[in-house]
Structure 1
Amino acid sequence: MADPVVEFFDGLERAESTVLPVRVNGTARFDLNQDGETDHWYVAIQEGAVSVSHEMRDADVVLNAERGFFERLVTGRANLFASLLRRDFTVEGNLQLLMPIERILPQPPGAHDPRAFAPGRNDRT
């Protein structure tokens, strides 16, 4: 069975460059806890391009979460900001980077891009 966390991070580097605005620059570290161990994922965003590693180094923002919760986040079954308000995870550092992080997370299953329903578009399905 595929690991959704690994698939998410592997897919970040291959994602279209249009996912993030070019002006986005920063680093994020995701500390994922499971069974008393912590797995680190370091994400560097430079002018919209993303690189991922397992480095344990300082980052502009650090998100600390249980791995099971993060699996729900990367499969679109949890919302970043609603989960933050519920304290499902903790975050330290530059909170402004949460907006670009939210953009790289998948939408809930069955969700549609609202731009598809914008006035003047004829491709509604």
Structure 2
Amino acid sequence: MGEAIEQFFAALPARAPLVLRGPVSGTLQLDLTTANCTDHWLVELGPGSARVNRGLGPSDATWYGSHDLFERLIAGRDNGMAAMLRNESSFTGQVVLFLAFRRFFPDPPGTRDPRETAREQAGRPA
């Protein structure tokens, strides 16, 4: 398994208070495949908290995808919803868990908040 994936999951509990502000709760299983091997991660999400465990277990939702896709997601080079629409990944269960989890993924490189751009434009003389 890639070191970037290990680091991503290790950082989730510390990042959760800033990322998970809404009333989300449940367990999301992520199945990451490569060749004939599947790694399983369980992420228990709650308001402002996340706990990560390796392995299988009871979950409210499951996301299936490749290691390569997941590495692109955690690098901001791909979008989770777009990957599902392209049939590169799939999902079962409570969709709100994936919608909350994808907030942990960074924006694509070079992306700016449109509000910042608007503020900059408003501050310039016409």
Query: Aligned in 2, Cα 1:119/1:44: closer, same or farther, shift over 3 Å?
Result: same
- In structure 2, what is the Cα distance between the partners aligned to 1:16 and 1:28? 14
Q: Which runs of 5+ in 1 are unaligned?
A: none
Following TM superposition, by how much is the alpha carbon of 1:86 offset from its aligned partner in structure 2, in angstroms? 0.5
- In structure 2, what is the Cα distance between the partners aligned to 1:48 and 1:21? 6
Equivalent residue number for residue 59 of structure 2: 59
Equivalent residue number for residue 98 of structure 2: 98
Query: TM-score scaled to structure 1, two decimals?
Result: 0.85
**Root mean square deviation, CA, Å:** 2.2
1:74-101: CA deviation from partner (whole Å, max 9, x where unpaired): 1111101111100111111111222211
1:30-55: CA deviation from partner (whole Å, max 9, x where unpaired): 11111311111110012220111103
Following TM superposition, by how much is the alpha carbon of 1:18 offset from its aligned partner in structure 2, in angstroms? 2.1
Query: TM-score scaled to structure 2, two decimals?
Result: 0.84
Query: Aligned in 2, Cα 1:114/1:3: closer, same or farther, shift over 3 Å?
Result: farther
1:98 is paired with a residue of what secondary structure?
A: helix
- In structure 2, what is the Cα distance between the partners aligned to 1:16 and 1:90? 24
1:60-81: CA deviation from partner (whole Å, max 9, x where unpaired): 1101111111111111111011
Equivalent residue number for residue 35 of structure 2: 35
| Maintained 8 Å contact 1:76/1:108 | yes
AA aligned to 1:89 is: S
Question: Is 1:26 the equivalent of 2:26?
Answer: yes
| Maintained 8 Å contact 1:25/1:48 | no
The share of aligned pairs that are identical, in percent, is 32
Query: Aligned in 2, Cα 1:50/1:87: closer, same or farther, shift over 3 Å?
Result: same
- In structure 2, what is the Cα distance between the partners aligned to 1:26 and 1:12? 15
Higher helix share: 2
Q: Which runs of 5+ in 2 are unaligned?
A: none
Pair member with larger Rg: 2
- In structure 2, what is the Cα distance between the partners aligned to 1:39 and 1:16? 22
Residues matched between the structures, number:
121
